[in-house]
Amino acid sequence: MDHIEAAKQARLKAYVPYSKFKVGAAILLKDGTYVHGANIENASYPLSNCAERSALFSLISQGYDVKDIKQITIIADSEQPISPCGACRQVMHELLPKGTPIFLANLHGDVKETNPDELLPYAFDHFDEDTDA
């Protein structure tokens, strides 16, 4: 399946009673498997989870290794290709292998390719430091 179509399928699973703004994310693994994520909101608004974080957390929860990630595609019904929030940029920067292609898309066929360093320059990464973690 095409990566845009996979992200569209993921988007249909969104739980968005508050914003009504559905977002889908599809992570493609090197073996061709797709892992889906959708945004899941809550009446206590800050507890809502974005699609790209849902996909990454699902991937790890299912026992996949982030080293096997080939690319991620995120899609929404936005005028421009969807722009990930700051929290998701931080999470993607930590969990996606360096240089992983990130495709930002919308339902009009616009697609922008980027990567973790471009989305979050000068990212916080405690693994750069000499810690015991």
Q: What is the separation, in whole angstroms, between the first and last Cα of the chain?
A: 38
- Alpha helices (runs of H) in the chain, residue ranges in sequence order: 3-11, 51-61, 86-95, 116-119
Q: Does 41 bind ligand THU (CB under 6 A)?
A: yes
Q: Does 58 bind ligand THU (CB under 6 A)?
A: no
Select from 10, 23, 27, 91 the one that contacts ligand THU (CB under 6 A): 23
Q: Does 51 bind ligand THU (CB under 6 A)?
A: yes
Rg (CA), the chain: 14
- Decide whether 15 or 64 has the Cβ nearer to ligand THU: 15
Q: Does 48 bind ligand THU (CB under 6 A)?
A: yes
Active-site positions read 52
Quote the least distance from Cβ 56 to ligand THU, whole Å. Answer: 12
- Token pair 């699609």 is found at 51
Q: Does 7 bind ligand THU (CB under 6 A)?
A: no
Q: Which stretch binds ligand THU (CB under 6 A): 13-21, 94-102, 105-113, 120-128?
A: 13-21
- Using alpha carbons, select from 54, 70, 73, 69 the residue that is nearest to residue 5: 73
How many C-alpha atoms does 54 have within 13 Å on its Cβ side?
24
Distance (Å, rounded) from C-alpha 132 to C-alpha 91? 20
Q: Does 85 bind ligand THU (CB under 6 A)?
A: yes
Residues in contact with ligand THU by the rule CB under 6 A: 16, 19, 21, 23, 39, 41, 48, 50-52, 74, 82, 84-85, 88
